[in-house]
């Protein structure tokens, strides 16, 4: 039987549990940044909602949600962001999402939520990515090691080149 490693929090050295998601608020005069790190899923959606509610309570014109540290998302985490964005917009305020990784952007797109979230900082390409290839699929550069040839792989190998 397979066990989902996210099913239960692992014990911490102090005997407690390690949170699956951390949320930190960084207030400024004109905006507040909510930094999320960890897994954003059904079990952590209440943590996300609580952090966003605290951020909205500070009364700034804009809330920026930095999701660069959230490496796993499911739709329940995204729906919390959508609901929060809708509520803030209704109050004449704004919510921006920054730092979304390519996998997060794909999930947002597949869930048809792109029109409901304001995503900033589109990471179209990363330095060194191959031309015409998205940043998250760029192959690493391969260099021969002194005296050793680089093996041919993929289509070239199948073609006998």
Is position 68 within any domain? yes
Task: Return the minimum-mean-pLDDT range out of 45-49, 136-140, 145-149.
Answer: 136-140
Q: pLDDT band at 18, cuts 50/70/90?
A: low
Is position 138 within any domain? no
Report pLDDT digits (tens) over 50-95.
999 999 999 999 999 999 999 999 999 999 999 999 999 999 999 9
- Choice between 28 and 19, residue whose per-residue pLDDT is larger: 28
Is position 104 within any domain? yes
Domain count of the chain? Answer: 1
CATH for 47:
3.30.750.24
pLDDT at 75: 92
Report pLDDT digits (tens) over 20-61.
999 999 998 899 999 999 999 999 999 999 999 999 999 999
Q: pLDDT band at 158, cuts 50/70/90?
A: low
Cα–Cα separations (whole angstroms), residue 28 to 55, 90, 114, 147 = 11, 22, 27, 57
Is position 146 within any domain? no
Is position 6 within any domain? no
Is position 137 within any domain? no
Q: pLDDT band at 135, cuts 50/70/90?
A: very low
Range(s) of the domain holding residue 120: 21-124
Is position 103 within any domain? yes
Is position 2 within any domain? no
């Amino acid at each position: 039987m397979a066990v989902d490693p996210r099913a239960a929090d692992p014990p911490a050295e102090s005997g407690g549990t390690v949170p699956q998601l951390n949320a930190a608020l960084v207030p400024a005069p004109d905006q507040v940044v909510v930094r999320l790190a960890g897994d954003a899923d059904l079990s952590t959606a209440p943590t996300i909602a609580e952090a966003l509610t605290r951020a909205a309570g500070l009364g700034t014109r804009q809330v920026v949600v930095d999701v660069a540290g959230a490496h796993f998302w499911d739709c329940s985490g995204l729906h919390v962001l959508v609901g929060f964005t809708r509520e803030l917009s209704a109050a004449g305020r704004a919510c921006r999402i920054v730092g979304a990784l390519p996998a997060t952007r794909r999930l947002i797109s597949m869930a048809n939520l792109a029109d409901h979230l304001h995503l900033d900082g589109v990471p179209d390409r990363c330095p060194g990515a191959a031309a015409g290839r998205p940043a998250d699929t760029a192959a690493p550069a391969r260099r021969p090691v002194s005296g050793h040839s680089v093996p041919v792989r993929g289509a070239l190998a199948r073609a006998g080149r």
